[in-house]
Amino acid sequence: EAKGEPVSAYRFYSAELQFIRDHQAALETEMRLGIMRGEFEVYYQPIYSVSTGRLRSFEALLRWKHPERGMISPVEFIPIAERSGMIIPIGQQVLRDACRAAATWPSPVGVSVNLSVVQFKDCGLVGKIEEALRESGLSPDRLDLEITESLLLEPSPRVISAIERVRELGIHLTMDDFGTGFSSLNNLRRFRFDRLKIDRSFTRDLEKSDSAEIIKSMISLSKALQMEATLEGVENETQLAFARNEGATEVQGFYYAKPMTVEDVAVLLREHDGAVAA
């Protein structure tokens, strides 16, 4: 039997793998504890109508306030939560908190909740959505679910029936991060998405290259399919003017506000004092 290279390579690989496994197991335990200790908090970022300038809804964005590591970004912990399956209880908490919060806001201000592909593998997903609505008393048409293109790449029968049931309940559907993945345009029609959310990467590069043309074509696609189009990541006047001129229906971004706590949402709503619209 040969000794040397393959063996040491294997050992190295194995040690590295073990390290990753230990690290993930530790994080998974920390997540479990974090849920119990209330370290996960939902923040909300306002979304405005382009034509009226009025507040329409908020996107629920999760934050992890880790006792030692400080604030951890969802970009970091969501993939780990997805791999470990912890996204299922965490996602359920987001749904519950978001529906409860939105039920206290003036109608028709709604809430958008991001759903991971992994949450669709849970056969209890639709039941959990219904439970969050029932428990909060929120009307289904004030809830919007944001899903990404990857979910529809090869949709399983479970995914298809979950989406169809969500539609039957009168919940809205948004295609998030549009343009960054592989979309079947047919799926946009088939599942009757209400809205396309144009990814922030296009907004950011507006003045560069072909981004402006890409955004324009995504907006015209949304119009052709009777969908709304939200431009994400609007940080300045130029980007807002572009959204307005090209006919985006909604805007979201730091130009207006960063994601904020539920307490700050209450303050913002008082300031708006009824300047909200359908």
According to the binding rule CB under 6 A, does residue 144 interact with ligand C2E?
no
Q: Rounded CA gap, 102 and 112, in Å?
A: 10
Which of Mg ion, ligand C2E, none does residue 235 bind to, with CB < 5 to 8 Å depending on kind? ligand C2E
Q: Rounded CA gap, 211 and 241, in Å?
A: 15
According to the binding rule CB under 5 A, does residue 176 interact with Mg ion?
yes
Q: Rounded CA gap, 120 and 183, in Å?
A: 18
- The structure tokens listed for 93 are 């908490």
Closest distance between Mg ion and the C-beta of residue 18, in Å?
A: 34
CB atoms within 10 A of CB 101: 19
Which of Mg ion, ligand C2E, none does residue 149 bind to, with CB < 5 to 8 Å depending on kind? none
Contact 114, 78 (CB under 8 A): no
Q: Rounded CA gap, 110 and 139, in Å?
A: 9
Q: What is the rounded radius of gyration, in angstroms, for the C-alpha atoms of the chain?
A: 21
User: What is the maximum alpha-carbon separation in the chain?
Assistant: 79
According to the binding rule CB under 6 A, does residue 250 interact with ligand C2E?
no
Closest distance between Mg ion and the C-beta of residue 114, in Å?
A: 4
According to the binding rule CB under 6 A, does residue 121 interact with ligand C2E?
no
Closest distance between ligand C2E and the C-beta of residue 170, in Å?
A: 22
Segment lying near ligand C2E (by CB under 6 A), choices 15-23, 153-161, 205-213, 233-241: 233-241
Q: Rounded CA gap, 159 and 154, in Å?
A: 9
Kindly tell me which residue out of 144, 149, 177, 194 binds ligand C2E, with binding defined by CB under 6 A. Answer: 177
Write down the H helix ranges in 37-156.
74-84, 87-103, 125-136
Nearer to ligand C2E, 93 or 187 (CB): 93
Kindly tell me which residue out of 30, 149, 194, 199 binds Mg ion, with binding defined by CB under 5 A. Answer: 199
According to the binding rule CB under 6 A, does residue 34 interact with ligand C2E?
no
Kindly tell me which residue out of 47, 94, 206, 251 binds ligand C2E, with binding defined by CB under 6 A. Answer: 94
According to the binding rule CB under 5 A, does residue 114 interact with Mg ion?
yes
Strands 40-49 and 250-252: antiparallel
Contact residues for 60 (Cβ-Cβ < 8 A; gap 6+) = 42, 43, 44, 94, 97, 98, 101, 111, 112, 113, 114
* Number of residues engaging ligand C2E in binding (CB under 6 A): 25
According to the binding rule CB under 6 A, does residue 254 interact with ligand C2E?
yes
* Residue numbers at the binding site for Mg ion (CB under 5 A): 114, 146, 176-177, 197, 199-200, 232
* Residue numbers at the binding site for ligand C2E (CB under 6 A): 45, 60-62, 73-75, 78, 91, 94, 114-116, 146, 176-177, 200, 232-235, 252-254, 259
